[in-house]
Amino acid sequence: MEHEGGDRLDTWMERFQIPMLAGEILLTNGAEIFRVEQTIERMAQALGAERSDVLVVLSGIQASFSVQQQVYTYIRRVRMRRTGLRLIAQVNQISREFCNHTMSNEEASQQLHALLTAPSHTAPLRKAIASSCGALAFSLLFQLRLPIPLFYATLNGFLASLIVDLLNRWKIPEYLATFLTGFILTYATLLYPQLDPTRLDRVLLAALFLLLPGVPLTTSIRELTNGDLISGTARMSEAMITLITIAAGVYTAFTLLPGRLL
Amino acid sequence: MHIDFLFAFIAVVCYAYLFDVPLKPTLIAGVAGSIGWMMAKHWISHAVFGTALAAFCIGMIAYLFAPRLHQPVTTMIIPGIIVLVPGTAAYTALRYALEGNIAMAGSGVITVFSSTLAIAGGLSVSELIMLRFNRAWRTYREKHRS
């Protein structure tokens, strides 16, 4: 099945880059593995692939599409991963229109390239304010009702987001950044005046919640039960390493300040 | 106790903003997440069962609104379950392990795994039901339009 119209994407080799690009954006922004595979397969089918085999693992995409007795194989390595759900929604929209043939190949390719280069990050200050509100709400949910600890929890949430952003900008390796964030936040919490040691844990947790891999842990179980064994295992190990790194940071801060709690 | 509903809503909305979710799914996820929190912590006394049922409800709401808002389900599920995920429990378990309190660490790990399994199970069941429901609804609509 050939598409009519003045496509500049006139070889199959170039056309199949469109689903690969969509998959890459989805994987980078934290979509589930089965959703990435499904999107790539559907878009390839809309392009006219007779058979498509897609294997997505957490760190890359491998796909081969067969059409007219030819097999086209692609590998994309994905190194950076973050959570940017707006981009997932936009790719979803493009994919839907593309599969309904209401969007041309060129248009889809152009829009996907625009998404790839678009800055997904909102302003650091706004993110920090959202994080501090989140920390406040979470510490209220954890039954913390006194004004001073609540204030410290909010401050911690604010600091957590700012530190994560700053370390990201300095291109500090991911796990070192997590370690440092845990360390700095714990040290700051230990130095706050007039903080009751029994509430220290909850004040700290409100800030660390931003880093804790609760969602990846759940996603990994969902992927494992779904049959994506490699990605599920990989995601779980990643969550474990993140957890251990945070705990190491917190523990280091506690041991450097003796006579408090441990 | 009822004020918790509001706090859970704010928490979900804030984290949805951090995850860069568009506005409408944010609000849906906020409502779903706060219903989930109330269900897991207040309405049902059994912790794991409550978590599973809460995840089921969040999944149901997300799958119900996803085709109607033209949004992927991920944009509502990930912020929605943020109040249920055992991040703090995992951290606490690891803290106990580092302190050498193996008994508490073991029980913490079991809590973490049971609640992650509960959330995953609840979401899968809601997905099973709602995918069929949405398909049936679509064919029904198309039949009555023509």
Quick check: B4 and B42 in contact, CB under 8 A? yes
* Residue B18: closest CA among A215, A241, A181: A215
What pLDDT shows up at residue B52?
A: 94
The alpha-carbon gap from B39 to the nearest alpha carbon of chain A, in Å, equals: 14
C-alpha to C-alpha distance for B11 and A131, rounded to whole angstroms: 9
Tell me the residue type at A25: I
Interface of A with B in 95-154 (CB under 8 A): 96, 120, 122, 126-127, 130-131, 133-134, 136-138, 140-142
Q: What 8-state DSSP symbol labels residue A262?
A: -
Interface with B, mutate which of A85, A91, A222 (most B CBs under 10 A):
A85
B96 contact A CB<8A: no
Residue whose tokens read 């149901």: B60
Q: What pLDDT is attached to residue B88?
A: 85
State how far the alpha carbon of B10 is from the alpha carbons of A213, B3, B144, in Å: 20, 11, 40
- Residues of chain B above pLDDT 90, percent: 52
Per-residue pLDDT, A259: 56
Burial class of residue B102, CB neighbours in 10 A (0-12, 13-18, 19+): exposed
Q: Confirm if A157 and A133 have CB atoms less than 8 A apart.
A: yes
pLDDT at B102: 92
The answer to whether the CB of A207 falls within 8 A of the CB of A134 is no
pLDDT of the residue at B97: 87
Query: pTM for this structure?
Result: 0.86
At residue A107, the pLDDT reads 85
Residue A213 to residue B90, Cβ atoms within 8 A = yes
Per-residue pLDDT, A120: 58
pLDDT per 10-residue tile (average), chain A, 262 residues: 51 87 90 90 89 90 90 89 86 90 85 79 82 90 84 90 89 90 89 77 84 87 88 90 90 75 48
Beta strands in A59-177 (DSSP E): 60-67, 70-77
Min Cα–Cα distance to chain B from A141, Å: 6
Scan residues 154-183 of A and list those with Cβ closer than 8 Å to B.
Answer: 161
Interface contact B74-A209, CB threshold 8 A: no
Measured between beta carbons, the chain A residues lying within 8 angstroms of B52 are none
B56-77: buried (b, 16+ CB within 10 Å) or exposed (e) per residue? bbbbbbbbbbbeeeebbbbbbb
Distance from CA of A53 to the nearest CA of B (A): 23
Each residue's pLDDT tens digit, B20-74: 888 999 999 999 999 999 998 888 888 899 999 999 999 999 999 998 888 888 8
pLDDT digits (tens, 9 = 90+) for B83-107: 898 888 888 888 888 888 899 999 9
User: Cβ contacts (< 8 Å) between A88 and chain B: which residues?
Assistant: 72, 74-75
CA distance B135 to chain A (A): 16
**Contact flag A214-B14 (C-beta cutoff 8 Å):** no
Please answer yes or no on whether B85 and A87 come within 8 Å at the CB atom.
Answer: no
pLDDT at B53: 94
DSSP B9: H
Per-residue pLDDT, B10: 92
What pLDDT shows up at residue A5? 43
Q: Say whether B18 and A130 touch across the interface (CB within 8 A).
A: yes
pLDDT at B13 over 80: yes
Taking contacts as CB-CB distances below 8 angstroms, the residues of chain B near A216 are none
> Among all residues of chain B, which has the CA nearest to that of A208?
B88
Instruction: Residue window 188-247, chain A: list those with CB within 8 Å of chain B.
Output: 205, 208-210, 212-215, 217-218, 221-222, 225-226, 243-244, 246-247
Cα A78 to Cα A234: distance, rounded to the nearest angstrom? 14
pLDDT of residue A6: 43
Q: Can you tell me the distance from the alpha carbon of A139 to that of A100, in angstroms, rounded to the nearest whole number?
A: 46
| Per-residue CA distances from A146 to A46, A151, A197, A202, B12 (Å) | 58, 9, 13, 12, 22
Task: Give the per-residue pLDDT at A4.
Answer: 45
